[in-house]
Chain A
Amino acid sequence: MAQVTLDRVRKTYPNGFEAVQPCSVEIPDGELVVLVGPSGCGKSTLLRMIAGLEDITDGALSIGTDVVNDKDPADRNIAMVFQNYALYPHMSVAKNMGYGLKNRGASKAEIDAKVQEAARILNLGDYLDRRPSQLSGGQRQRVAMGRAIVRDPELFLFDEPLSNLDAKLRNQMRIEIRALQQRLGVTSVYVTHDQVEAMTMADRIIVLNAGRVEQIGTPTEIYERPASTFVAGFMGAPPMNLMTAALVSGQLQVGGETKLPLTPPAVATDEVLVGYRPEDVRLGGDGSVVLDVQIIEELGANRLLHGQLGGQAFSISIGKDEQAQVGPQPITLPQDRVHFFHPERGTRL
């Protein structure tokens, strides 16, 4: 087990593209950190630098107490699970899992014991003699996990390990991976573009945007106090509503006439971005704020009302027991749930 420290780690590809801007983060022993962000934001690059598959342009990476920048992937005592599993097609499940141990000179008895143990944990006992091509997607995923755990690594790295699975299996595997990681207590870095995976699995989340770290925090912090409009929009489904509001003599206004009954933040700009999570807005109220509902989406557990507020798109989520119709509806914007962002920089105020 080990802690992982990134100290201003940066990556510029040989073609001059800066894929990861300087990134500093400390991952304590046993923590599962999720790297999340849209496709192409540099998640895999960062993960592959930790794995040693990609050179680190600048900065220091330590696993445990050693700086490992120049160590070979095999010497970093890590294990990685790839999106397409990368199982050796010509080897049986048992051989696949034992290959890393064999290369490290483990005895046959030791390999057998470890493989059996991993197979037991992952319910793969009946499949040890099969080839990867004779397994389902979920089973291959498990073999990839098995290959990672047999070696007792100090660090697990996952690169979108669930994105080739169907939705149901994905939910199930998500829970299994999390449970396994907690049981083994191995420090882990998990890459995904799926914000649900990030929220549900992470001890802490690192949100990446175009190679830059937008925010690092626990799922609750990220959700409750997004550091920027990017994080606010990326984390949470449906995403947070963001409205541009004018500051007219200490009063927030949207669309010229609707006054928002909110205490504005102390800023020197004449506009702010007002953010509300759809579920933080309540239906009903004194009529000072009215949402013009245009579409009602039925989700079973709740309903989404999409409409316009002061001429800007706005959505709210209501419980399944509440009634709603298309047309103007009074809503309540609670002061304690509002998020303010800088109109140009998008940073939290």
Chain B
Amino acid sequence: MTDMTQASIATPARPRRSKRFRWSQVFDHAILCTGAFFMVFPVFLVLMTTSFEDADIVRNGLQFGFEGQMLENFEAAMFEAAGFSKAITGTRMLMNSLILGFGFAIGKIVISMMAAYAIVYFRLRFATFAFWIIFTTLLLPLEVRILPSYEAIQSLGLANTYSGLIIPLIASATGTFFFRQFFRSIPEELVEAARIDGAGPIKFFIDILVPLSRTMIAAIFIIMFVYGWNQYLWPTLITTDEGMFTLVRGIKQIVQVLSQTGAMIPEYGKALALSLIAMIPPVLIVIFFQSWFVKGLTESDK
């Protein structure tokens, strides 16, 4: 697993034979630039539009010009109390989203690492069976089991709590699978050397397995954080209290609330500003962990 990723990262770094100009490179770059343009263009368009007034946006849709409203719109998005009950601000939603994203990713990593550890290193009678049971839960994503999950959380009194938001989503077949594959690739002798060195199961896990898995952890963290951040259905269901809203679900709520300027139009500028803010943390996580990820790979030496 590690080796594969390493190879795919190492290939582009192969030293070029000459710096000669090549048409194929122009072509490659043309494709890259086109792709980048298609991705960045809508974001840019939204950014520019946030500088307009709501009424303007309703009349003319998204637009490229620049008006003076950008700062006001962002400020309103972040700090102005919103929603029917005026219990939520952008900052609050951002914090809720961060709690969900981190709780989700960290929880998944902890749970799936421990599950994989048990499956790989302990002579459990039904280890393989247990693994396949965990694996088949891939067939049962939250959307399929949403009613029973809701019922359970509701009756446990966990609705409108962070625990209720995070825990039902935390079991991860994918994570367990990746960690299991990774643990199985660790040489048996390493385990034995640690045993002779007096490392018990917990020490071995913390001193040896976790540091060896750090690239794996980084990779899964990126994926899971973004996945958790983008959760929409479950938060919508389990949080009715506006103070618990996450960004992703809160944006919609804001559009529904009509502008207070009296013109009875939705607050589009604020919503657009919020949707831009909602994009920032996942991007930061990817950027931050990516460098860590590459560093881990190049230094890794299993």
Contacts and interface: CB of A to CB of B under 8 A. Distances in A.
Nearest to A48: B192
Contact of B197 (A89, A90, A100): A100
Interface in A85-104: 86-90, 99-100, 103-104
A61 interface: no
B187 A84 contact: yes
A99 B192 contact: no
Given A84-B187, A90-B212, A103-B203, A74 B196 contact: yes
Contact of B192 (A86, A89, A104, A133): A86
Contact of A73 (B187, B196, B208, B301): B196
Contacts of B71: none
B214 to A, nearest CB: 8
Given A100-B198, A103-B198, A53 B192 contact: yes
A100 B192 CA distance: 12
Interface string B190-202: 1011111111000
B207 interface: yes
Contacts of A147: 193, 197
Contact of A89 (B196, B207, B302): B302
A129 to B, nearest CB: 14
Contact of A86 (B193, B212, B214): B193
A169 to B, nearest CB: 20
Contacts, number: 62
B198 A74 contact: yes
Contacts of A104: 198
A158 to B, nearest CB: 13
B151 to A, nearest CB: 45
B196 A78 contact: yes
A19 interface: no
Contact of B207 (A53, A80, A99, A133): A99
Contact of B199 (A53, A86, A89, A99): A99
Interface in B142-197: 187, 189-190, 192-197
Nearest to B190: A86
A74 B192 CA distance: 10
Classify chain A's interface size: 20 to 34
A80 B211 CA distance: 23
A79 B199 CA distance: 13
A80 B196 CA distance: 8
Contact of B196 (A79, A83, A132): A79
B236 interface: no
A131 B212 CA distance: 13
Contacts of B301: 89-90, 131-133
A88 B197 CA distance: 11
A240 interface: no
A171 B253 CA distance: 77
Contacts of B193: 80, 82, 86-88, 147
Given A53-B192, A89-B212, A90-B214, 6 more contacts: A51-B196, A74-B199, A78-B196, A79-B196, A99-B199, A103-B198
Which 7 pairs, one residue from A and one from B, show the smallest C-beta to C-beta distance? A133-B301, A86-B189, A100-B197, A103-B198, A74-B198, A86-B193, A89-B301
Interface of B: 187, 189-190, 192-199, 203, 207-208, 211-212, 214, 299-302
Interface of A: 51, 53, 72-74, 78-80, 82-84, 86-90, 99-100, 103-104, 131-133, 147
30 contacts: A51-B196, A53-B192, A53-B195, A53-B196, A72-B195, A73-B195, A73-B196, A80-B192, A80-B193, A82-B189, A83-B189, A84-B189, A86-B189, A86-B190, A86-B193, A88-B190, A88-B194, A88-B208, A89-B301, A89-B302, A90-B212, A90-B214, A90-B301, A100-B196, A103-B198, A103-B199, A132-B301, A133-B301, A147-B193, A147-B197
